[in-house]
Amino acid sequence: MTEHEAETFSNTPNSIQIVETIAEQDGRDPTEVDFTLNDHVDPDALNSLLETGSEGLVVTFTIDDKVVTVAKDGTIEITDEE
């Protein structure tokens, strides 16, 4: 499992942070991941939801064999799908 705490004042969208976290977990550069985020979730909608959603909001979805959980507070957790 990899957990990534987003910087509180980061200007990097959550969708980009998700790709960076998965790449880091796999020991790759973010430009070398073997998936397209758009195939799994709408990045603009995800960013908007996390920016405007209520406190305590958590979104979970899968990317290939990984379960991605991202919270409004910027916490990103990547776990292997069971």
Tell me the pLDDT of the chain averaged across its residues. 87
Q: Please, are residues 44 and 34 in contact by the beta-carbon 8 Å criterion?
A: no
Hunting for tokens 């957790």 — which residue is that? 77
Q: In terms of pTM, does the model score above 0.85?
A: no
Q: Is the dihedral of CA 53, 54, 55, 56 positive or negative?
A: negative
Question: Does the pLDDT of residue 3 top 90, yes or no?
Answer: no
| pLDDT for 11 | 79
Q: What is the mean pLDDT of residues 57-81?
A: 92
Range of weakest confidence among 5-19, 24-38, 61-75: 5-19
Share above pLDDT 70 across residues of the chain, in percent, rounded to a whole number: 88
